[in-house]
Amino acid sequence: MSEYCFDTKTATVLNSLLEVVRDLQHRFEKFEKQIEKIAFIQCTVNSLVHKVNDVEKKLEFVMNRSTEIEGSVENMSHLMHKVVHRCKENISNITSLKTAELQHKDRGENVDFRLRNIEDDVIELKWRSMKTNLIFTGIQFQSDENTEDTLNSFIKQKLNIDKKSNFVSVHRFGKRGRRGNRPILAKFTTTKDKEIVLKNGFKLKGTNYGVQEQSIFQKSNKNEKFYTRWQNRPEGKKGKYSW
């Protein structure tokens, strides 16, 4: 133990130093928990803790060098203020980043919601444009045919419907079938004419001919999701359609 005698002032300073050192250690522990994910701050805090440990080990020497220690404490206090200031800045930056991330997420969700609405509206428009459409398959193709006359003749002969149907448009489309005939897509002038033909479709059972409503959905994983959402769409956007 040192043989020097210390006056009351020196003892007070040393006690204050001890309190400062203890306070510094407490603050470092607190800051370690708050900024453990920030590498460069953690490195700074670890360095300061190391310095504090060194100070504790050299207390006996420090007690004999009160003047030097006062300067060291002042420097450490200044450094501590810098650390505190830096911590506050980083905490503020982290908060700002989290806020920006939440805002970005909200904007992304809003965009997704709008895109889903647009998709629903597009499907609605497609359904409305197809609601009077029927697809006929198996009808023999003639090189010089008038497709509308060919279809009216088919409806009269195969479905036994004498009333001539009126069409907005009639045309062949898509790939050829097994017999080399492409399907015929007919857009009826009225829903009534379309329904009359569709209700008589059962007469084609057992033949190579077929008639069905045009579907706005093709069978795929992607359209399966659209179909499910379309089924669950709000009232006011519902109608009949074929799958």
- For residue 193, the model assigns a pLDDT of 93
Residue 3 DSSP class:
-
Q: What is the CA radius of gyration of the chain?
A: 42
Residue 143 is encoded by which pair of tokens? 């090189």
| 20-69 pLDDT per residue, tens | 888 888 877 776 677 666 666 667 767 767 777 787 777 667 577 767 76
Q: What is the mean pLDDT of residues 228-240?
A: 53
Percent of the chain whose pLDDT exceeds 70: 72
| 65-89 pLDDT per residue, tens | 767 767 777 788 888 888 888 898 8
CATH code reported for the domain at 131-231? 3.30.70.330
Minimal CA–CA distance to 151: which of 185, 177, 200?
A: 185
- For residue 197, the model assigns a pLDDT of 95
Contact 20, 73 (CB under 8 A): yes
- For residue 243, the model assigns a pLDDT of 32
- For residue 211, the model assigns a pLDDT of 95
Residue 73 DSSP class:
H
Contact 193, 131 (CB under 8 A): no
- For residue 195, the model assigns a pLDDT of 95
Q: What is the mean pLDDT of residues 101-125?
A: 75
Residue 166 is encoded by which pair of tokens? 């009126």
Residue 160 is encoded by which pair of tokens? 């036994």
- For residue 221, the model assigns a pLDDT of 47
Residue 161 is encoded by which pair of tokens? 């419907």
Between these two residues, 159 and 229, which has the higher pLDDT value? 159
Contact 156, 144 (CB under 8 A): no
- For residue 241, the model assigns a pLDDT of 38
- For residue 4, the model assigns a pLDDT of 52
Helix (H) or strand (E) holding 197: helix 191-199
In the β-sheet with 133-137, what is the strand arrangement from edge to edge? 167-172, 184-188, 133-137, 210-213
- For residue 21, the model assigns a pLDDT of 85
Residue 159 DSSP class:
S
Residue 208 DSSP class:
S
* Domain residue spans of the chain: 8-98, 131-231
| Alpha-carbon gap, residue 160 to 153, rounded angstroms | 10
| Residues forming a β-bridge with 148 | none
| 174-203 pLDDT per residue, tens | 887 676 789 999 999 999 999 999 999 999
Q: What is the mean pLDDT of residues 215-239?
A: 54
- For residue 220, the model assigns a pLDDT of 43
| 2-20 pLDDT per residue, tens | 555 557 878 888 888 888 8
- For residue 232, the model assigns a pLDDT of 61
Q: What is the mean pLDDT of residues 151-155?
A: 95
Q: What is the mean pLDDT of residues 136-164?
A: 93
